[in-house]
Protein backbone atom coordinates (compact mmCIF):
# COMPACT_ATOMS: atom_id res chain seq x y z
CA UNK A 1 0.00 0.00 0.00
CA UNK A 2 1.18 3.50 -0.74
CA UNK A 3 2.08 5.90 2.03
CA UNK A 4 3.07 9.51 2.32
CA UNK A 5 5.55 10.90 4.82
CA UNK A 6 5.75 14.51 5.88
CA UNK A 7 8.63 14.61 8.32
CA UNK A 8 8.06 18.15 9.58
CA UNK A 9 4.92 18.65 11.64
CA UNK A 10 5.62 22.36 12.11
CA UNK A 11 7.74 24.81 10.17
CA UNK A 12 8.17 28.34 11.56
CA UNK A 13 9.58 30.91 9.14
CA UNK A 14 9.90 34.67 8.96
CA UNK A 15 8.02 36.63 6.35
CA UNK A 16 9.86 37.00 3.03
CA UNK A 17 12.13 34.06 3.83
CA UNK A 18 12.19 30.94 1.64
CA UNK A 19 10.56 27.73 2.80
CA UNK A 20 10.58 24.06 1.86
CA UNK A 21 8.01 21.55 3.07
CA UNK A 22 9.14 17.99 2.57
CA UNK A 23 7.11 15.09 1.24
CA UNK A 24 8.20 11.56 0.46
CA UNK A 25 6.05 8.75 -0.81
CA UNK A 26 6.46 5.01 -1.02
CA UNK A 27 5.27 3.31 -4.16
CA UNK A 28 6.96 1.15 -6.75
CA UNK A 29 4.50 2.11 -9.46
CA UNK A 30 3.65 5.42 -11.06
CA UNK A 31 1.76 7.96 -8.98
CA UNK A 32 -0.10 11.21 -9.10
CA UNK A 33 1.05 13.70 -6.45
CA UNK A 34 -0.71 16.63 -4.86
CA UNK A 35 -0.28 19.40 -2.34
CA UNK A 36 -3.38 20.66 -0.56
CA UNK A 37 -3.67 23.63 1.78
CA UNK A 38 -6.04 24.02 4.69
CA UNK A 39 -6.73 27.41 6.25
CA UNK A 40 -8.19 27.50 9.78
CA UNK A 41 -11.70 26.09 10.08
CA UNK A 42 -11.92 25.32 6.39
CA UNK A 43 -11.79 22.31 4.13
CA UNK A 44 -8.80 21.49 1.95
CA UNK A 45 -8.02 23.22 -1.33
CA UNK A 46 -5.76 21.97 -4.08
CA UNK A 47 -2.51 23.94 -4.28
CA UNK A 48 -0.78 22.09 -7.11
CA UNK A 49 -0.53 18.66 -8.68
CA UNK A 50 1.78 16.47 -10.68
CA UNK A 51 0.10 14.07 -13.09
CA UNK A 52 2.70 13.68 -15.86
CA UNK A 53 5.07 15.69 -18.03
CA UNK A 54 7.27 18.40 -16.54
CA UNK A 55 8.51 17.44 -13.11
CA UNK A 56 8.32 21.03 -11.86
CA UNK A 57 4.81 22.27 -11.18
CA UNK A 58 3.74 25.68 -10.00
CA UNK A 59 0.76 27.24 -8.28
CA UNK A 60 -0.76 30.64 -8.93
CA UNK A 61 0.42 32.03 -5.58
CA UNK A 62 4.14 31.38 -5.98
CA UNK A 63 4.52 27.84 -4.62
CA UNK A 64 6.25 25.18 -6.66
CA UNK A 65 6.98 21.49 -6.23
CA UNK A 66 9.31 19.14 -8.02
CA UNK A 67 8.63 15.48 -8.63
CA UNK A 68 11.78 13.46 -8.07
CA UNK A 69 11.17 9.85 -8.99
CA UNK A 70 14.58 8.56 -7.92
CA UNK A 71 14.18 10.05 -4.45
CA UNK A 72 10.40 9.44 -4.33
CA UNK A 73 9.93 13.01 -3.22
CA UNK A 74 7.61 15.89 -4.00
CA UNK A 75 8.86 18.79 -1.86
CA UNK A 76 6.98 22.08 -1.81
CA UNK A 77 8.90 25.34 -2.00
CA UNK A 78 8.31 29.05 -2.01
CA UNK A 79 11.13 31.58 -2.40
CA UNK A 80 9.46 34.27 -0.27
CA UNK A 81 6.56 33.59 2.08
CA UNK A 82 3.84 35.93 3.23
CA UNK A 83 1.84 36.05 6.44
CA UNK A 84 -1.19 34.85 4.48
CA UNK A 85 0.62 31.58 3.69
CA UNK A 86 0.16 30.51 7.31
CA UNK A 87 -1.84 27.29 7.02
CA UNK A 88 -1.53 23.54 7.17
CA UNK A 89 -0.17 21.83 4.07
CA UNK A 90 -0.88 18.25 3.12
CA UNK A 91 0.91 16.11 0.60
CA UNK A 92 -1.19 13.38 -1.05
CA UNK A 93 -0.74 10.55 -3.52
CA UNK A 94 -2.83 8.44 -5.86
CA UNK A 95 -1.28 5.25 -7.19
CA UNK A 96 -2.22 4.85 -10.84
CA UNK A 97 -4.41 1.83 -11.33
CA UNK A 98 -5.14 1.75 -7.62
CA UNK A 99 -8.78 2.73 -7.76
CA UNK A 100 -8.24 6.47 -7.36
CA UNK A 101 -7.62 6.07 -3.63
CA UNK A 102 -6.28 9.42 -2.38
CA UNK A 103 -3.89 9.02 0.57
CA UNK A 104 -2.65 11.95 2.65
CA UNK A 105 0.38 12.64 4.76
CA UNK A 106 0.08 13.87 8.33
CA UNK A 107 0.42 17.52 7.36
CA UNK A 108 2.88 20.34 8.01
CA UNK A 109 1.80 23.46 9.85
CA UNK A 110 3.49 26.46 8.26
CA UNK A 111 3.61 29.46 10.56
CA UNK A 112 4.85 32.69 9.03
CA UNK A 113 6.03 35.29 11.51
CA UNK A 114 6.84 38.96 11.15
Partner 1 sequence: DAGITQSPRHKVTETGTPVTLRCHQTENHRYMYWYRQDPGHGLRLIHYSYGVKDTDKGEVSDGYSVSRSKTEDFLLTLESATSSQTSVYFCAISRGTGNTEAFFGQGTRLTVV
Residues making contact with partner 1 (CB under 8 A): 1, 6, 9, 32, 34, 36, 42-46, 49, 51, 90, 94, 99-107
Shortest distance, position 52 Cβ to partner 1, whole Å:
11
Task: Report the candidate in 91, 87, 85 with the shortest Cα–Cα distance to residue 36.
Answer: 91
Q: Which is nearer to partner 1, 46 or 83 (CB)?
A: 46
Shortest distance, position 80 Cβ to partner 1, whole Å:
26
Shortest distance, position 25 Cβ to partner 1, whole Å:
13
Distance CA 14, CA 70 (A): 31
Distance CA 9, CA 24 (A): 14
Report in angstroms the alpha-carbon separations of 21 from 28, 67, 99.
Answer: 23, 13, 27
Length of the chain measured in residues:
114
Distance CA 33, CA 83 (A): 26
Q: Which is nearer to partner 1, 36 or 81 (CB)?
A: 36
Q: Which is nearer to partner 1, 51 or 83 (CB)?
A: 51
Shortest distance, position 38 Cβ to partner 1, whole Å:
9
Amino acid sequence: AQSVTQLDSQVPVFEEAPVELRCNYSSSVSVYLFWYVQYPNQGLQLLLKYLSGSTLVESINGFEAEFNKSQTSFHLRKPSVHISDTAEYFCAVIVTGGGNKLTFGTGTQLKVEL
